[in-house]
Structure 1
Amino acid sequence: MPITLKSPVFAGNPIRSKTPKPTDPFSPTQAFETLKILISGQTHIQEPSLLTFKILPFRKGRPLAGSSGDLVKKWHLGWLTFDEFKVVLEGSEVSLSEELLVYLGYDDGDDEGEKSGVVYWGVDVSLGDGLVQKFGSQQLSFVQLTTLMVATDWADDKAMGQLAIAGYARALLEWHTTSRFCGSCGEKLIPIEAGRRKQCINESCKKRIYPRVDPVVIMLVIDKENDRALFSKHSRLVPRMWSCLSGFLEPGESLEEAVRRETWEETGIEVGEVIYHSSQPWPVGSSSMPCQLMVGFLAYATSFEINVDKKELEDAAWHSREDVKRALTLTEYGKAQKTAATKVDQICKGVEKGQNLAADFGVESGELLPMFVPGPFAIAHHLISSWAHQV
């Protein structure tokens, strides 16, 4: 049976579902003013004192995380209060300033109309080498987001929400790292609006820039007549993993045109009808393109002879519906989850072991499957599954 999710992995962020009024204490503007007061050390805070600030540190794109040791509950994000974060930074290479923190969202706690709640911030502490040991003593560690992605219980809405928050924070912080200078005049860019925008410091320019989203088309190409689908294999993926074709949108190009062009360039297959399926935020791509949006399509082939571009792909091949169904049925995604959760637990305890997480996907009774496809954390899985199980 296909695996269905309430929302795609990295979507459904629970702290970005509403836009607060500018006058609310947990709005970006008001929360940032409170932040400046806290950093200055002033204590005469009135209305803003109803707020709690929680901060999620990142190091080289990896969020701080911990493990309960219970592999059913798996991992949790390493949120710190403002006071805890301030103590951690003492004696480190990172100086506490309002420009360091980026507004992520809020939970207003407004069950009875009382304006109180939690404001969430992200922060990049990649320059603080000594912080790794400090967090390690608390059994917290900076864990790769893709590892957390595999380790997440995809049926747990709360866990999925935490993963979405971490994904959004990573994308925003990576954007800050890569967007340091104005593209118009070359002057320095500084954060504004609590880190959600940046602005050129040149008085004659003052250009504002916003976090960009790079659209990526991902498509399952289908041969209707022979009831099969086209799969590709990349050398950068683990052996035996087959997935959908994908590629970036080019200027002046529609999404459907991009699907047809990328399919032709990579495999020599011509595509006619293109049907939208779904989309997924993807903040775990390269740091040069930290805010990607995967836009998924089913595409119907009008030619069938494959001519692989070896610069782009290791291989491409048609696979029958029955073969794909078998791969989906026998691939042990639950086992991969437990493997990743164990790795997170080891990392947080300082006992990281080099283990290929995906190697456990395609194992049944000790036999390696001839092919397997990405897990439910990837839009490719849902494109493939929707075709394989359609009536």
Structure 2
Amino acid sequence: MLPSLPSLVASLALLTSTAYSLPRNVLSGDDGRLTLSAPSSIIMSKRDTACNNSPALCSKSYSQVTHMGAHDAAFLRDSSTDNSIAGNQYFNATLALDAGLRLLQAQVHNKNGVIELCHTTCDLLDAGPLADWLATIKGWMDANPNEVVTLLLVNGDNQDAAAFGDVFTKSGLDKYGYVPTGSSGWPTLQSMISSNKRLVTFIASVEASAAHPYLLPEFAHVFETAYEVTSLAGFNCTLDRPQAAGAATAALQAGLLPLMNHFSYQALSSAIMFPNVGDIDTTNSPSTSTPGALGLHAQTCQTQWGSKPVFVLVDFWDHGPALETADKLNGIEGKTTGRLTPAGAGGSNKKNSAGSTNVGTVANLGMGRAALVAFFMAAVMLF
């Protein structure tokens, strides 16, 4: 007889730890990972001359820049989650921001009336309240006034804008919220920085709100490519969502910004998938000739669309390194400043603080635990 759902939930709670994967202040080195810090004089010099780590980007409009992003940025595969196979990143959100990523994506659910960062279900991987995560991102933005950041939240339980607005207000991040004018295109990064309205927030499955106009319904502004790819040959540039927008060319003409999903899953069956770590160095490679590589995917989409992707989402962003592709698209390769790289970035078989080794494939994990976690991941497909 199959175990009951409550039994599975209880078992999963024992096997998969609840993870409060909050971003940390990496300049203080308080998480033990960062080996590089910068004197305040260097930081101020960078702030005076660069926008999003490069002077060349200051005059570019928001829609002319490729923003590299961490897919499921709050859900980590490290010692804080007991190396959960559901985790999509090795390093937390502020480490990603310090390294140069400017797009953070995460999924939220309603947990007893609280908007919680939960990966598919809160029983699978719980990264704590959204408000706490946002507050730490606000701290990073306070310390980095020349940076434009984008958030993309998957609204798992279709909560309304008022609920999100309360959380953004509580965190203090609402002060940075950018509101499109509707009468013209996107502003330059410098103008967003000068006005201090330098946070762009997209939320899926939410209606626009006059009370919280900085919370933007995702598919009124963005279209995405496919996000359920299980082979390196599966990446394409076809519009997947919103289907009402038609083809990608029509969506671009309508002013939607293109988001290129570039992460793959390892499939145990047609309905059970996990983030694919085994191929990550190929997946995130800047190569424009290797099948399945990030660089080739971006080049292909740029050719087909007649414009480069504005947003790119990847898993395990430190591998590749993924940022190299964005830098090439933005024309700033080798011309960036102020980035901080966490210790162990891009390394294979990284060890956590307890000395155990992060695994690369589902096969290494022990199929009992993998199958149990897979039950929940099959219930609501990974975003």
Q: What's the TM-score once normalised by structure 2's chain length?
A: 0.21
Higher strand share: 1
Larger Rg: 1
- Bigger helix share: 2
